[in-house]
Amino acid sequence: MEGLGFSIILILIPILIIGIPIGLSYITNRILKKKGVSPKWRLLSLLPILIVGYLIYDALYPNKDFYRADFKEVTGVEMPTDSDFEYKTATFPDQFGDYTSISLIKVDNRFYDELENILISKGFTENFRHINSNEFDSMKSKIKEMKIEKEYGKENGDKFYYVGFLSDKQTLIIERISW
């Protein structure tokens, strides 16, 4: 029976997160309408729905700052400002906050060459066994004719960090997995 209670809670939480703003907007709109407030001002009653909608969108499609933070967490250094994202994806965090993120990042040649020594100094292992994920498989279709020349990995408690160096000498694969 314990599992049933947890399942009910997992169903109720999204209903409440979405239902409360919708109900609040509806009730606010009705009150404003009864008071004779003009329709353009009643649009403000949609604000709770818009806020929750934005938060859900941001959780499903993280912005570049999210991937920049993952880059720093994985490599231990800031991502160069002149870098470009070629591809990025992440899973939605589970109930414990665990997720997988992966990105293809184009950097300048100098940083590309320096990063290998930085990773070694931070305890990364070359040819580390890679943990396969659906996100990694999706990313592989984006690298086209390039090959992964070097791979570095590190386990950090319940997290796995991976950095792949591609054959164009500019593109990096950054992957963070937590479980």
Q: What is the pLDDT of residue 2?
A: 60
DSSP-based three-state secondary structure for 87: strand
Q: What is the pLDDT of residue 80?
A: 94
Comparing CA positions, the residue from 152, 171, 160 lying closest to residue 133 is 160
Decide which of 85 and 97 is more confident: 85
**Which pLDDT tens digit goes with each residue over 8-46?**
887 888 888 888 888 989 999 899 999 998 988 888 898
pTM, to two decimals: 0.75
**Beta-bridge partners for 175:** 102, 162
Domain layout of the chain by residue ranges: 2-60, 64-178
Tell me the C-alpha distance between 104 and 164, whole Å: 9
Tell me the C-alpha distance between 5 and 17, whole Å: 18
**Strand pairing report for 148-156 and 100-106:** unpaired
